C-alpha cells in the first residue's frame, strides 16, 4: 500500500522534483514569514512589509500563470480572457470585504459608501449572499467557473478554436470591462471597491493578517501547482496533450475533445478566481482596470517567457516579468512597455522553451 502511494506521488513529481518542491515550499511558506516577523526592524535579513506584500501579489500572479499554462501550454488553447476570471474572483472577495465593514465607512451606513454616494436605498439582491466569508470564497471559485463552462460549452461544441477562440475571449473581456465601468452595475463603477478594513474579523493592516495572507497565497500557489501536475500526469492530461498536438486524431479515436477542453477551461478559470480572491485583500482595491485586455495578454506573456508546457516555468515567468516590471516602473517607467516587448520577443526567439527550457538544457 505504501509502495502504491509512493508510485502515485512519483507520477505527479519525480523524486528529485519532490526535493526541489519541498525546498521551495519551505523557503516560501515558512522561512520568509520568519524573516519578516521574527527578526528586529533594520536587521540585514529582515524582510520589510512592502516586500512581503509584493511577494504575496507575485504568488497570486504565479497561480494565474499556472492556470494559463494548464490551458495554453498543456492543451493548446490560447485564451485572452483569463483576466476576467481573475477579476471576478477579486470582486467576489471585494464584496465580502465591503460588507464586513458595514457601519464603519465614511457615511456610517450599512450600505457601502459608494452606494450611499449614488443615493442607493437598499443593498442589491446579488450582494446579500456575500456577507459570509465562505460564500464569498465559494463565489470566487464558482462564478468564474460557471462563466468559463458556459463559454467553453458553446465555443468548443461549435468547433471554435485557435485564433478565433482567442478573439472571442478578448472581445468578452472588453465587453465586461465596459459593463463594470458603469455605476448601474452596483459594483463601484470606475472606482471599484476599496478602502477595506478587515477580513474575517482581523484588521487588514495588522502584521499578522498581512503575514497570513502571504502564507495563504504562497501555499495556495504550491497546492494549485500540485493539482495542475496531478491533472497533467493523469489519463486526462494525456488526452489534453493529444488535443494540443493533433485534435482531429483525438476525435477519430472516439474521445469527446469538447468535454475535455471545457473541463480544463473551467479548471483554469476557477484557479484564476482563487488567485484574484487572494490578491484583493493584499492590494486593497479591485476595479475595472483588472479587466483590461492588456492584463490577460500579460498572463500569456508570463507563460511564454517562463516556458509553455512547463507549469513551474509559467510560475517562474510570472515572478520574473512582474519583478522586472516592479523595478522598471519605478526606475524607468516610460521604458517598461518597450522592455516587456523586448523580453517577450527575445526569449521567444532565443529560448523557444522559455526560462524553464534553459534550466532543462543545463541539467542534461
- The tens digit of pLDDT for each residue in 76-87 reads 999 999 999 999
Nearest to 267, CA basis, from 136, 87, 144, 134: 144
Structure confidence at residue 341 (pLDDT): 84
6 pLDDT more than 60: no
pLDDT level of residue 90 (50, 70, 90 thresholds): very high
d(CA 359, CA 300): 20
What letter would DSSP give residue 40?
P
pLDDT level of residue 7 (50, 70, 90 thresholds): very low
Helix, strand, coil fractions of the chain, as percent rounded to 5: 75, 0, 20
pTM: 0.93
For the beta carbon of residue 23, count every other beta carbon within 10 angstroms: 11
Mean pLDDT of the chain: 89
d(CA 356, CA 352): 10
d(CA 182, CA 237): 41
Q: What is the mean pLDDT of residues 132-144?
A: 97
Q: What is the mean pLDDT of residues 205-219?
A: 95
167 pLDDT more than 60: yes
Structure confidence at residue 124 (pLDDT): 92
Q: What is the mean pLDDT of residues 17-44?
A: 86
d(CA 218, CA 28): 7
Using the CB atoms, write b or e for 210-247: b if 16+ within 10 Å: bbbbbbbbbebbbebbbbbbebbeeeebebbbbbbeeb
d(CA 218, CA 29): 6
pLDDT level of residue 363 (50, 70, 90 thresholds): low
Grid cell, residue 358, equals: 534553459
360 pLDDT more than 70: no
pLDDT level of residue 280 (50, 70, 90 thresholds): very high
Structural element, H or E, at residue 38: none
Q: What is the mean pLDDT of residues 271-281?
A: 98
Amino acid at each position: 500500500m505504501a509502495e502504491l502511494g509512493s508510485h502515485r506521488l512519483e507520477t505527479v513529481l519525480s523524486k528529485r522534483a519532490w526535493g526541489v518542491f519541498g525546498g521551495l515550499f519551505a523557503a516560501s511558506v515558512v522561512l520568509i514569514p520568519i524573516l519578516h516577523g521574527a527578526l528586529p526592524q533594520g536587521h540585514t535579513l529582515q524582510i520589510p512589509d512592502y516586500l512581503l506584500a509584493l511577494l504575496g501579489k507575485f504568488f497570486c500572479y504565479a497561480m494565474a500563470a499556472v492556470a494559463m499554462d494548464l490551458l495554453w501550454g498543456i492543451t493548446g488553447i490560447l485564451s485572452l480572457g483569463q483576466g476576467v476570471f481573475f477579476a471576478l474572483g477579486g470582486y467576489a472577495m471585494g464584496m465580502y470585504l465591503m460588507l464586513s465593514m458595514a457601519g464603519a465607512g465614511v457615511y456610517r451606513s450599512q450600505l457601502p459608501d459608494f452606494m450611499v454616494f449614488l443615493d442607493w436605498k437598499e443593498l442589491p439582491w446579488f450582494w446579500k449572499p456575500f456577507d459570509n466569508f465562505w460564500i464569498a470564497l465559494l463565489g470566487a471559485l464558482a462564478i468564474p467557473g460557471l462563466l468559463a463552462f458556459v463559454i467553453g460549452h458553446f465555443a468548443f461544441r461549435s468547433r471554435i478554436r485557435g485564433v478565433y477562440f482567442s478573439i472571442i475571449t478578448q472581445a468578452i473581456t472588453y465587453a465586461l470591462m465596459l459593463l463594470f465601468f458603469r455605476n448601474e452595475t452596483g459594483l463601484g463603477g470606475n472606482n471599484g471597491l476599496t478602502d477595506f478594513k478587515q477580513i474575517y474579523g482581523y484588521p487588514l493592516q495588522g502584521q499578522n493578517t498581512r503575514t497570513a495572507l502571504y502564507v495563504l497565497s504562497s501555499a495556495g500557489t504550491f497546492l494549485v501547482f500540485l493539482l495542475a501536475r496531478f491533472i497533467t500526469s493523469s489519463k486526462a492530461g494525456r488526452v489534453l496533450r493529444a488535443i494540443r498536438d493533433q485534435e482531429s486524431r483525438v476525435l477519430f479515436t472516439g474521445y469527446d475533445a469538447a468535454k475535455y477542453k471545457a473541463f480544463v477551461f473551467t479548471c483554469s478559470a476557477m484557479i484564476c478566481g482563487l488567485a484574484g480572491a487572494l490578491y484583493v485583500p493584499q492590494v486593497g482595491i479591485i476595479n475595472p482596470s483588472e479587466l483590461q485586455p492588456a492584463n490577460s495578454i500579460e498572463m500569456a506573456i508570463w507563460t511564454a517567457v517562463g516556458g509553455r508546457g512547463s507549469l513551474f516555468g509559467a510560475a517562474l515567468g510570472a515572478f520574473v516579468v512582474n519583478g522586472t516590471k516592479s523595478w522598471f516602473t519605478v526606475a524607468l517607467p516610460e521604458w517598461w512597455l518597450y522592455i516587456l516587448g523586448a523580453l517577450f520577443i527575445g526569449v521567444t526567439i532565443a529560448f523557444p522553451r522559455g526560462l524553464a527550457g534553459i534550466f532543462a538544457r543545463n541539467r542534461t
